[in-house]
């Protein structure tokens, strides 16, 4: 079941929030471009269609391309 995370990239002043599965979260927090990453409260929103998009974003982020990850996330103020 997907859940929300809040994170920050190195060299970026903004925080972002997105939904990930547990397996995606484990990979995400190991990325060298991620400065901070924390689980947010449970959210029951339907994010099943979002999973494949997030996996692609994780694949790109592993290559230091944060553009797709930022597209799928929202800035948290």
Handedness of CA 68, 73, 74, 75 (dihedral sign): negative
pLDDT of residue 28: 93
Residues lower than pLDDT 70 in the chain: 41-49, 77
Where do the domains of the chain lie? 3-76
The answer to whether 66 and 28 are in contact (CB under 8 A) is no
DSSP string, 10-76: TT---EEEEEE-HHHHHHHTT-TTEEEEEE--------TTHHHHHHHHHHHHTTT--HHHHHHSEEE
């Amino acid at each position: 079941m997907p859940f929300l995370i809040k994170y920050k990239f190195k060299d970026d002043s903004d925080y972002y929030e997105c939904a990930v599965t547990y397996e995606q979260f484990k990979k995400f927090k190991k990325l060298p471009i991620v400065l901070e990453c924390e689980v947010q409260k449970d959210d029951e929103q339907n994010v099943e269609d979002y999973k494949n998009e997030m996996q692609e974003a994780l694949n790109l982020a592993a290559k230091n391309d944060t553009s797709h990850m930022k597209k799928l996330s929202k800035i948290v103020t």
